[in-house]
Structure 1
Amino acid sequence: MGARHLKTAALTANVATNQKVTDIVKGVIDDIKANGDKAVRSYSEKFDKWSPESFKLSESQIQDIIAKVPAQTVADIKEAQKNVRTFAEAQRATITDVEIEIQPGVFLGHRNNPIDRAGAYIPGGRYPLLASAHMTIITAKVAGVKHVIACTPPIAGEIPYATVAAAHFAGADEIFLLGGTQAIAAMALGTETIKKVDFIAGPGNAFVAEAKRQLFGEIGIDLLAGPTEVLVVADDHADPFTIATDLLSQAEHGPDTPAVLITTSEQVGKESIRFADEILKKMPTRELAGTSWRDYGEVIVVDSLDEAYELADVFASEHVQIFTQNPREALDKMTNYGALFLGEKTCVSYGDKCIGTNHVLPTRHAGRYTGGLWVGKYLKTQTYQEVVSEKASGEIGRLCGRCSRAENFEGHARSGDLRAYKYLKDPHEWIDEAKK
């Protein structure tokens, strides 16, 4: 029968950047490039109504802020960060330096060197995403980044206490109460008071994403992120109430979250729709979650799990939950996703907040060619080579000469000729004439 929709998305996710956003961001970047701190302050006043004596928090300010955070919240931050750190350290342990002797006297290798300075953007906006501090700062520090700057915006003119605490406990070397395009531009370009970084990570709104896009090349970035995405693959044993709950848990991120169910059971599909509509009635974030579910929600019935996995790979969703009798099967059946959540005992919210895997993940089909943020993103794998044998240098020189002349690179060829001349006594007329 093929795939059939029980619920079809009313809208298609818009991957194009609004031209107005592009123009505003470019104007802010150009102004900060020309006017530094003065421009940063002007935009912070304009967009966030925030203009303190210093955007950078002093150590005493940080300690005063932490003192205002409930003890249970501090304990929870530390426990979640322990999980993130433990997993990041395990990832780092898999990345090794390499050196091999490919032939006698010829050594090739690579070193994994950390970036010197990184910026971590921790969003505010609708929600204080303090978990983003765990994901960006701890991961950088485990990779060995020497200096990490954290930027987070004030929320409605107020200090986000828990976010500041999370950034501090994660190991941020400097914390700035600064948000939006102005924060990204200041970190990427540098100002009188904010030293330029080499790499910026962290999610954000359309303006933050566009600023990272425009500044990519000036600095490295983690991902070009779009709206949150969630997809559930379910068989006929899956619990529709759990499916509905988990789809809506991600739909509350914003009004444009694709929330998709692919199932082999029409009954599971229909019941999931019914429960989603029922849960939304009393859900505190129903305005956002309901808009996403109405406009971007899909429920698709397929004939087999193989077809479900194949279709899920086409979606290449940021978050993919597997609610089947054998959820680990997805590890072999699927390759396109940001992260997999296997079985009904886990959920995307665990990954978002506390379980230890990174929540900065690819969206807009980018899971087809990249993974999410991890320690490897903060490392530069840099190669080196050394020839210590005269005989080997001469022989490679001969090869280099032939390879280079096949491409009409005479200058390259002559570097090879010279080694063959010096170490193997090969005659080369151009060398003898140049040395006269």
Structure 2
Amino acid sequence: MIHHIKEEAGLQVEERTELENTVSDIIHRVRQEGDSALKDFLQKFDGVDLDDLKVSEEGIAKAKAVLPQTLLEDIAFSIERIKAFAEAQRRTLTEFEQEMIPGVYLGQRVIPVESVGAYVPGGRYPLLSSAQMGIIPAKVAGVPKIQVCTPPTKDGEIHPAVIYAAHLSGADDIYRVGGAQAIAALTYGTETIKPVNKVVGPGNRFVTEAKRQVSGVVGIDMLAGPSEVLVVADETARPDYVASDLLAQAEHDVDARVILVSTSEKLAAAVQAEIVEQLKTLPTAKVAEAAWARRGQVIVTDTLEEAIAVTNDIAPEHLHVQIKDSREHLQAFINYGSLFLGEQASVVYADKVCGTNHILPTLGAAKYTGGVWVGTFLKVVTHQWIDDQGVKALAPHCVRQSEREGLIGHLRSANIRLTGKLDIES
């Protein structure tokens, strides 16, 4: 049996039409006016006047100069970890050519996307890790051109840690542009920003809606919502660990979704009490408490099998399994963005430094896709070549199928190679 101890509060449904129209107008202006529109939006939304949208080499050097050595070391460490994992992923994608039947040769190639735009959110905190997650796998994939867009602060600058992290990760150009207008610029191009083939990276609802509207004109990674975490815990879990894991994601956004699924009612009660205590000393409590109140859930199940079923149905972005012998249950969990096994495998390690990507599917999208990885920036494409022996094997089947379908042009294209004649003999 499944017991909902704490459910999500009813959320106000946003007026979709207003959001869609606002973003559509922004995209239209950027397409028509280019840099002029971007600078106007910088004044309107960010309160800054900029003559030059691009971060200069001097600006990159200045950013590095003001950062403490420990931060530089941390950036280098996380880049090394993310790069190493992306390289391991890349090695799993191979090219081949094989004779499938006599005379019929089929194969595949793995080709990098030619250009990528990585969006790095602004907001409350400088998200230098988001720059790394969007850029490094693209760099490992072999993408020749990587551009970064990120909103400036009120002084017209990007946080120096974000600038240097993006530069060190492999960004070719960094632009002080955010919001839906950045997505439009990366899609259609302006006088300063070149159009790209694929746009990746998380953002607010305006960024997400812009990605939805330009999808098809340009490739996108996914449409991601606010952060999600689901912790599966049994009676062996530590309430203080679980509470801290839930609040770590809750502090991202008041709309962050934080869920506890437990086989122990005692543990569930202890976690809720621990959350109350930890919020008293958490500097980001205003955001985290709102998220917990609005989007927090506590679900208690009678069995682990029920807990797993509930979890697979929710398909969370981050799934942290804190149960006895957690690794033995790896295969049972099938719907998640990224899986964290055991109480020591904190989600925040992957958010920042361990190497797996933190740009992940939300809102149930983990039922049909994974997160950003090196393959996001690669095209697996097929090719074939066929000799006379292969024609003899394929053409008779193709001719008969084409005739059944009434596609006589198809029939002729196959038959002329088999018999030298366009049409089959009566």
Q: For residue 232 of structure 1, what is the aligned residue in structure 2?
A: 231
For residue 225 of structure 1, give the secondary structure of its aligned residue in structure 2. coil
The corresponding residue for 1:21 is 19
- Match of 1:206? 205
Residue 313 of structure 1 aligns to which amino acid in structure 2?
N
Query: What is the alpha-carbon distance in structure 2 between the residues aligned to residue 252 and residue 329 of structure 1?
Result: 31
The residue type equivalent to 1:60 in the other structure is E
Equivalent residue, structure 2, for 1:56: 54
Inter-partner Cα distance in structure 2 for 1:342 and 1:136: 24
1:80 aligned partner? 78
Deviations 1:278-319 (A, max 9, x none): 111221111110011011111111111111111101110100
Measured after TM superposition, the shift of residue 408 of structure 1 is: 1.3
Whether the aligned pair in 2 keeps the contact of 1:83 and 1:355 (CA below 8 Å) is: yes
Tell me the TM-score normalised to structure 1 length. 0.95
Q: CA deviation at 1:152?
A: 1.2
Find the counterpart in structure 2 of residue 286 from structure 1: 285
Tell me the distance in 2 between the aligned counterparts of 1:52 and 1:295: 38
Query: Could you tell me whether the CA contact under 8 Å between 2:250 and 2:258 is conserved in 1?
Result: yes
Structure 1 unaligned residues grouped into runs of 5+? 431-436
Alpha-carbon offset, residue 418 of structure 1: 0.6
1:248 equivalent in structure 2: 247
CA 1:253–1:397 in structure 2 vs 1: closer, same or farther (change >3 Å)?
same
Q: Please, which runs of 5 or more residues in structure 2 have no aligned partner?
A: none
Aligned length: 425
> Which of 101, 104, 117 is matched with 2:115 structurally?
117
Shift of 1:8: 2.0
Partner of 2:96: 98
- Of 124, 129, 132, the residue aligned with 2:130 is 132
Is the 1:397–1:418 Cα contact (8 Å) retained in structure 2? no
Question: 2:180 — aligned with what?
Answer: 181
Return the alpha-carbon distance in structure 1 between the equivalents of residues 418 and 15 of structure 2: 56
**8 Å contact kept, 1:421–1:427:** no
> Are residues 1:364 and 2:383 paired?
no
Match of 2:327?
Answer: 328
The 8 Å contact of residues 102 and 389 in structure 2, kept in 1 or not, is answered as no
Residues 417-428 of structure 1 correspond to what in structure 2 (within 5 A)?
A: 417-422=415-420, 428=424
- Cα distance in 2 for partners of 1:42, 1:427 equals 64
Give the 3-state SS of the residue equivalent to 2:153 in structure 1.
coil
Q: What corresponds to 1:261 in structure 2?
A: 260
Q: Once the 2 structures are TM-superposed, how far is the Cα of residue 87 of structure 1 from its aligned partner?
A: 0.2
In 2, Cα distance between equivalents of 1:321 and 1:413: 56
Q: Which residue of 2 aligns with 1:47?
A: 45
1:376 alignment counterpart: 375
Maintained 8 Å contact 2:227/2:252? yes
Return the match for 1:69 from 43, 67, 73: 67
Instruction: Give 1:339 shift.
Output: 0.7
- Cα gap change, 1:226 to 1:269, in 2 (>3 Å): same
Q: Which amino acid aligns with 2:268?
A: G
- Note the alpha carbon deviations across 1:323-356, whole angstroms, 9 max, x for none: 0111113321110111111111111111111110
Asked if the contact 2:221–2:372 (Cα under 8 Å) also holds between the matched residues in 1, the reply is yes
* Alpha-carbon distance in 2 for matches of 1:240, 1:59: 48
- Structure 1 421/54 Cα, relative in aligned 2: closer, same or farther at 3 Å? same
| Aligned-pair CA distance for 1:98 | 2.1
How far residue 99 of structure 1 moved from its aligned partner, in angstroms, is 1.3
Aligned residue runs from structure 1 range 286-435, under 5 A: 286-387=285-386, 389-422=387-420, 428=424
Cα deviation for residue 53 of structure 1 reads 2.0
* Runs of 4+ in structure 1 over 3 Å off: 425-430
Distance in 2, matches of 1:17 and 1:75, equals: 45
Q: Give 3-state SS (helix, strand or coil) of 1:94's partner.
A: coil
Aligned residue number for residue 433 of structure 1? none
My pick for the range that moved more, 119-128 or 156-165, is 156-165
- Superposed CA deviations along residues 34-91 of structure 1, whole A, max 9, x for unmatched, are 1111111111111112332211112122111211111111110010110000000000
Partner of 1:154: 152
Q: CA deviation at 1:26?
A: 0.4
Moved more, 268-277 or 53-62: 53-62
Cα distance in 2 for partners of 1:11, 1:353 equals 32
CA distance in 1, matches of 2:303, 2:277: 28
Cα deviation, residue 13, structure 1: 8.8
Q: Whole-Å Cα distance in 2 between the matches of residues 247 and 377 of structure 1?
A: 29
Q: Could you say what secondary structure the match of 2:326 adopts?
A: coil
- How far does residue 245 in structure 1 lie from its aligned partner after superposition? 0.8
**Measured at CA, do residues 13 and 306 of structure 1 come closer, stay the same or move farther in structure 2, by a change above 3 Å?**
farther
> Which residue of structure 2 lines up, in the alignment, with residue 36 of structure 1?
34
State the SS of the aligned residue for 1:328: helix
The residue number in structure 2 matching 1:108 is 106
Q: Distance in 1 between matches of 2:36 and 2:415?
A: 57
Percent identity reads 45
Q: How has the CA–CA distance of structure 1 residues 427 and 185 changed in structure 2, closer, same or farther, with 3 Å as cutoff? A: closer
Tell me what 2:274 maps to: 275
In the other structure, the counterpart of 1:144 is: 142
